[in-house]
Chain A
Amino acid sequence: GQQVMQIPQYQHVQEGEDFTTYCNSSTTLSNIQWYKQRPGGHPVFLIQLVKSGEVKKQKRLTFQFGEAKKNSSLHITATQTTDVGTYFCAGGYTGGFKTIFGAGTRLFVKA
Chain B
Amino acid sequence: DTEVTQTPKHLVMGMTNKKSLKCEQHMGHRAMYWYKQKAKKPPELMFVYSYEKLSINESVPSRFSPECPNSSLLNLHLHALQPEDSALYLCASSHPTDRVYYGYTFGSGTRLTVV
Contacts and interface: CB of A to CB of B under 8 A. Distances in A.
Contacts of A44: 106
B36 to A, nearest CB: 12
Interface string A39-56: 001111111101000000
Interface residues of A, number: 26
Interface stretch (B12-20, B75-83, B94-102): B94-102
A43 B56 contact: no
Interface string B84-115: 00001010000010111111111111000000
Interface in A13-56: 30-31, 33, 35, 41-48, 50
B101 A33 contact: yes
A76 to B, nearest CB: 19
Interface of B: 31, 33, 40-45, 48, 50, 55-56, 88, 90, 96, 98-109
Interface of A: 30-31, 33, 35, 41-48, 50, 88, 92, 94-99, 101-104, 106
